Structure 1
């Protein structure tokens, strides 16, 4: 405890004490609530909403709302929230993070602030880590909401569901989840309370901002959200942006070629840095690759794609290991989440890395993708008016929560005292000796009737330990990425007498391990850690599975000097010390020095990871402002803003820019009117220069602009007459959306590549972030100008042709954190030829267009420089 805390008192304790005063008020209302009939209790919701409508705030109705929920929970699901759970609910309502230990009932705690904030009628979201937990939590708590007249829905990857007591799905094994009726995604967001996963909410936001019609949008305003397992979502996954992507038309053959070349290199041909997870060729390696590929200088600008693919092949070969970082299943490379050990089907590493791993494993290489829409979790969750979170482990990351999300962490007291015994680490010289000791510990502890939960860092290590136990005849269950389907079932049985469960990292998180009969007397659940994680928080999560709600329990970590963390961060020094002390391979040591060194290494890694996430959010903040502008303009278009005047204002700007360029001189005789007419004639129909009277444009620039604008408006009216006014309004919307989308997609790709190389500016004594901000500002201004010019010129080119109706394609199957999608749009609109040429339609793409062929839109540019970007 710091001196400041001793003098001023613990601020966390003071906050909890304040909340307990509100809890005492809620407790006084309990006898009154118990006397209400079911209808009277349900009517409380309308009464509270009426008070809000009359000007009271949520804090004014909090005490009564919490008392109402507590009574509804007691009647409908047989659980009465404890006082400390009400404290947790108040913390969440205030937009803070509640740290609550495992087994303290976070699922029930969330109901209190969700109900309170849903009273405003703006929706409340509960965001969790996977579909199973979202569906389970919604289904288990739905009777509480139902008793209070509120609707609750779930958005899932495959379907959306609404709790309906009159609906019965007898095929579901859990009776509590049999009343969830399939509905549309839009209906799920209209429910008072909506449960779902972080990726589903995030991707729905991106899809809404790619929609070509307002009816395709599903989300309403982002009002209040509680993020369950907040450390996992806002910290562990924060560096992985949400990406919706489409396929790029590039050959995949070179990935196989480079995957065959890299293993031929010797160790001196490349360097690998496991701390930063990077790999690069040495000069000898570059020379060999150039000789083998026939490329004269692989790092010249014209070979930038080849250099990138070679580097990704090197990373795939040196840094990414099968059964640790990914699995190969049914001819596909499936990523394994490094924090939870869960499979991430559909998620793909970006920037060609996934293709490099596929080529390395000899499976089919899928084409690289082009980013259509992207946002980081940091920026998505900061869109909510009020954000809260809950987890068992948040204090170690309190600084990051505060600096990035402006979220304060409050530790909520446990209902019963924690009595788990956390034993000192045992350090062995080798991994073989460590695993032998782990197997001894498991066999000995399980033999006393106590259950054992073993945490490993990878699928490979969990299977190695499983084989060791098999040889000894010790019954066990393995819970890792390959067993995801049976996850909840395995975890549910992990607390039975003598049960041995091997779990990869925190697989199974979110499901309580309940002790079986007689287990508490035997000493409770014993936790065995087989390696320290690079984050103290993950170690604490593993320990936290034991000792729930005052249960007895214990934990111990077993380490080896060749563990990744020890090897990367100074294990050699400890090894020399052990050799000097003549410690045998099978003898463990317990050392304060070693424990301090491990903690120091973890602190270093945590600091490095925090810097990386802060670096990401600082750069993405630049794109975030720009994203908000683009998405804001798109939304106005979808909501039916009058586009005619807007388009004509952009036409006027095109004219003004052209006049500024061609009429620089103060003397009208020196103006390039012929060049001006020729230039603008590519945008809207103008008579040939020779047919325009010499005094047509007057003596001032304003007069020239006004006369040219008359030509533009006349041509626009002619186009309206040709298409009819209702059709013209549809065409305006289509052209504006299509242009914004295509240019934005190209811009995202350009800025991604630009960000990759911006770090090199530091060699020129320049701050890369400042340079990025300056150049991004300039690039965005150019983007806006390009969008306006392209819309202005395309509006005069469009032709409408009748086509047979095209059946609506089924929605894309979107999974993981990187998703494939297309942007749909009205098929009836096609580009036209030169506006001067009398309106012959431009060719519409049929089959594949070569990158160097003229673009189909009639712009005169190559396809790769126009719509192929």
Structure 2
């Protein structure tokens, strides 16, 4: 690399990846277009297959790749790939990829995150990149956020892959182990991130090499990369086993419901903590028969009361969760959708179910877990695409070593992004929002209103109905109708009130849908052309935000619904000094100026408060990410050591050798009675069981340590992470020796069963009768134990 290029890389800002080499490749591909277009389908497939390094006819010394550490091998002709991919898309999908789509594909092949605006064709760019990796002989996992997108994109892009000679498959929640193995055997596999993680966890507990499902990781191509890699990076995916655990006692939910705010309990300024007052503690003790709530013997009761209090006060129905089909369904804050398979830690989950008088959902002991960040970190090559990556470019670099390539739009964006309208009160803001909607509707202009949560979306919709309008509501309660609702959101005069569910993976077309048109395939020349022109003349889609989100990326996602592919459109956010964002993250900032008769505030100092609150919120999220990563990094190192031993046991004779060394007499006796093969099988199963058992116990131990570490560190004046490591490191060093010792002790107890096999159950090998997977929604207000103990300190101070 030339010195000039080295210097440029050293001072390069996140997101300023140089696109010039990629544009040169695309220009080269354009010069080949006529030749490639003259190929027959069979010749085109043969030409693509010839790109494979091991394919007959593959030329040595292909053009060098566009560079970058992430992806492309140096022997693939990327310009030829672009030319073939463009022609394959034209023939199979009816689309000729724009130059910028090919630039996006090349950025992915360079191992970067491609930022591409809404409507710019990320799905097709991702497919061309995935095909490029596959043609280079690398297995590609295209990770989406749900089953629907995985299946849709795999089937939609399937003809493109077929013409390029690349096999493709998809995996969903209901896929069987056999279907999963077959899907992972394809060149390109589309799957939700969670399903790949669950397969990894199940493989980690496999007792036979033939039961393994997930192949070795090679390339991860991540859709909605900022959401997956940042927003959900620390979400633990969990494999749990059946255990005798009871749900929460409903009596505690009834008890805390009778407590009075202010007198019996108080919340902090951020509404992220709640604690009993002295009066509240006395009321609880009286209600429970005069017990001493803080006696050591009543620790479980104290914990149950505090968990129930948190569930009652801090978790709100239709904000943090909804109740559907007799069950609590969590809401994903960054997407507004129901968080499928997601739950809070068992104690809090059970408390919310008791609060809502619902049957307790299955609980159990955690056998293993992995965070999304750990899962993605296993892949040697990572890349992704999204509409909003620049805002988290620093985190993508810090946690994944990924650069962002900002891909310009095919057509300049002409959307009118208006300044925020700030009001003194929430009531003033809501009146102004309705007036803005009414004015736009009167001109025939479609309006999309983004709200903060389910409750707000329904409250605004009711207000609009009272005003004589007919809004359509889209939120977590009817997310199954998302596609149909969004398809109509661009129709003349349409009013769509939505949570952040409309902020990702959606494409609003001006004028509404054309029935016979598949998504993104044909030009706009169908029966909705007149409606399209009507909406264009009205100014295009108007996007209204009823408040700034806690992340500027979510604001940008909502704003990006308008102005796709050069369409006209506008966006405006209505905020107030009473918004949750301000009261939670800038409670000490005061605006002492005045407001207009309608409550409108123009002062820059007031607008600064809103921006400041958002910056604080983003900073809090980043610090939580860093802090959680620090804890999980150590756990990951310990897990890696244990998994290395487990792999040797699973695929080799490490278990048999251990028993022959540590229990030679018993080993010789059993070999003489049942044969060497049966003894090796039993040794393998016993050592695997005790490795898994010790790891599950270790996870529980680490959870308990971390929950209580903060107060202990405060008492000693030490860093919580140092305190955590001081207990976690020695415990981790005991893992393997303890597991081996336990396995040897169990081996010594082995007896021969009546059928001539060794009785493993009699030696204590009893795996869970059932297992299931889910995602843990990390406590939305921090550590329960930490806040509970802090509350105790405050209480004891008050009693002195």
- TM bucket normalised to smaller: 0.7 to 0.9
Residue number in structure 2 paired with 1:709: none
Q: 1:797 aligns with which of 746, 749, 753?
A: 749
Q: 1:592, CA displacement in angstroms?
A: 2.2
Residue number in structure 1 paired with 2:499: 504
Cα gap change, 1:20/1:241 in structure 2, threshold over 3 Å: closer, same or farther?
A: same
Q: 1:104, CA displacement in angstroms?
A: 0.7
Q: Distance in 2 between matches of 1:246 and 1:323?
A: 30
Secondary structure at the counterpart of residue 372 of structure 1: strand
Secondary structure at the counterpart of residue 577 of structure 1: coil
Secondary structure at the counterpart of residue 329 of structure 2: strand
Q: 1:770 aligns with which of 712, 722, 734?
A: 722
CA contact (8 A) 2:256 2:312 kept: no
CA contact (8 A) 1:452 1:501 kept: yes
- 1:91 partnered with 2:107: yes
- 1:60 partnered with 2:75: yes
CA contact (8 A) 2:14 2:390 kept: no
CA contact (8 A) 2:354 2:360 kept: yes
Residue number in structure 2 paired with 1:16: 19
Q: Distance in 2 between matches of 1:739 and 1:399?
A: 41
Q: 1:436, CA displacement in angstroms?
A: 2.3
Q: 1:362 aligns with which of 342, 357, 370?
A: 357
Q: 1:726 aligns with which of 650, 658, 677?
A: 677
Q: Distance in 2 between matches of 1:846 and 1:223?
A: 32
Q: 1:767, CA displacement in angstroms?
A: 1.9
Cα gap change, 1:828/1:432 in structure 2, threshold over 3 Å: closer, same or farther?
A: farther
Secondary structure at the counterpart of residue 229 of structure 2: helix
| Counterpart mapping for 1:136-285 below 5 A | 136-159=152-175, 184-252=179-247, 254-273=249-268, 275=270, 277-285=272-280
Residue number in structure 2 paired with 1:429: 424
Cα gap change, 1:465/1:800 in structure 2, threshold over 3 Å: closer, same or farther?
A: farther
Secondary structure at the counterpart of residue 153 of structure 1: strand
Cα gap change, 1:43/1:438 in structure 2, threshold over 3 Å: closer, same or farther?
A: same
Q: Distance in 2 between matches of 1:200 and 1:844?
A: 26
- 1:38 partnered with 2:41: yes
Q: Distance in 2 between matches of 1:267 and 1:126?
A: 51
Deviations 1:212-260 (A, max 9, x none): 2222211111111111111111222223211122344233353533542
Cα gap change, 1:258/1:151 in structure 2, threshold over 3 Å: closer, same or farther?
A: same
Q: 1:504, CA displacement in angstroms?
A: 0.7
CA contact (8 A) 1:719 1:796 kept: no
Q: Distance in 2 between matches of 1:46 and 1:524?
A: 44
Residue number in structure 2 paired with 1:631: 643
Cα gap change, 1:147/1:234 in structure 2, threshold over 3 Å: closer, same or farther?
A: same
Cα gap change, 1:152/1:101 in structure 2, threshold over 3 Å: closer, same or farther?
A: same
Deviations 1:101-160 (A, max 9, x none): 111110011012211111243410111111111111111111100111211111111237
Residue number in structure 2 paired with 1:591: 603
RMSD (Å), alpha carbons = 2.8
Residue number in structure 1 paired with 2:733: 781
Q: Distance in 2 between matches of 1:736 and 1:117?
A: 39
CA contact (8 A) 2:446 2:542 kept: yes
Q: 1:527, CA displacement in angstroms?
A: 0.2
Q: 2:317 aligns with which of 314, 317, 322?
A: 322
CA contact (8 A) 2:233 2:373 kept: yes
Residue number in structure 1 paired with 2:135: 119
Count the aligned residue pairs. 727
Q: 1:600 aligns with which of 612, 624, 628?
A: 612
Cα gap change, 1:253/1:99 in structure 2, threshold over 3 Å: closer, same or farther?
A: closer
- 1:409 partnered with 2:409: no
| Counterpart mapping for 1:704-783 below 5 A | 712-760=663-711, 761-783=713-735
Q: Distance in 2 between matches of 1:643 and 1:498?
A: 71
Q: List alignment gaps of at least 5 residues for structure 2.
A: 1-6, 63-71, 512-531, 770-800
| Counterpart mapping for 1:673-692 below 5 A | none
Q: Distance in 2 between matches of 1:636 and 1:186?
A: 22
Cα gap change, 1:631/1:330 in structure 2, threshold over 3 Å: closer, same or farther?
A: same
- 1:559 partnered with 2:575: yes
- 1:457 partnered with 2:452: yes
CA contact (8 A) 1:491 1:508 kept: no
CA contact (8 A) 1:30 1:67 kept: yes
Normalised by the size of structure 1, how large is the TM-score?
0.79
Q: Distance in 1 between matches of 2:645 and 2:134?
A: 29
Deviations 1:503-537 (A, max 9, x none): 11134621211111212222111001011111111
CA contact (8 A) 1:648 1:792 kept: no
Secondary structure at the counterpart of residue 527 of structure 1: strand
Deviations 1:789-824 (A, max 9, x none): 1111111212353589xxxxxxxxxxxxxxxxxxxx
- 1:25 partnered with 2:28: yes
CA contact (8 A) 1:122 1:223 kept: yes
Cα gap change, 1:36/1:496 in structure 2, threshold over 3 Å: closer, same or farther?
A: same
Q: 1:549, CA displacement in angstroms?
A: 1.0
CA contact (8 A) 2:16 2:404 kept: no
CA contact (8 A) 1:241 1:376 kept: yes
Q: Distance in 1 between matches of 2:114 and 2:356?
A: 44
Q: Distance in 2 between matches of 1:725 and 1:185?
A: 34
Cα gap change, 1:263/1:345 in structure 2, threshold over 3 Å: closer, same or farther?
A: farther
Normalised by the size of structure 2, how large is the TM-score?
0.86
Q: Distance in 1 between matches of 2:405 and 2:748?
A: 60
Q: Distance in 2 between matches of 1:499 and 1:116?
A: 41
Q: 1:282, CA displacement in angstroms?
A: 3.5
Q: 2:485 aligns with which of 490, 501, 522?
A: 490
Q: Distance in 1 between matches of 2:269 and 2:175?
A: 40
CA contact (8 A) 1:735 1:791 kept: yes
Q: Distance in 2 between matches of 1:592 and 1:545?
A: 27
Which stretch shifts more, 458-467 or 629-638? 629-638
Q: 1:759, CA displacement in angstroms?
A: 1.9
Q: 1:10, CA displacement in angstroms?
A: 7.8
Cα gap change, 1:755/1:571 in structure 2, threshold over 3 Å: closer, same or farther?
A: closer
Q: Distance in 1 between matches of 2:650 and 2:222?
A: 30
Q: Distance in 2 between matches of 1:717 and 1:294?
A: 62
CA contact (8 A) 1:96 1:410 kept: yes
Which stretch shifts more, 769-778 or 362-371? 362-371
Q: List alignment gaps of at least 5 residues for structure 1.
A: 161-181, 652-711, 805-825, 833-841, 848-869
CA contact (8 A) 2:151 2:190 kept: yes
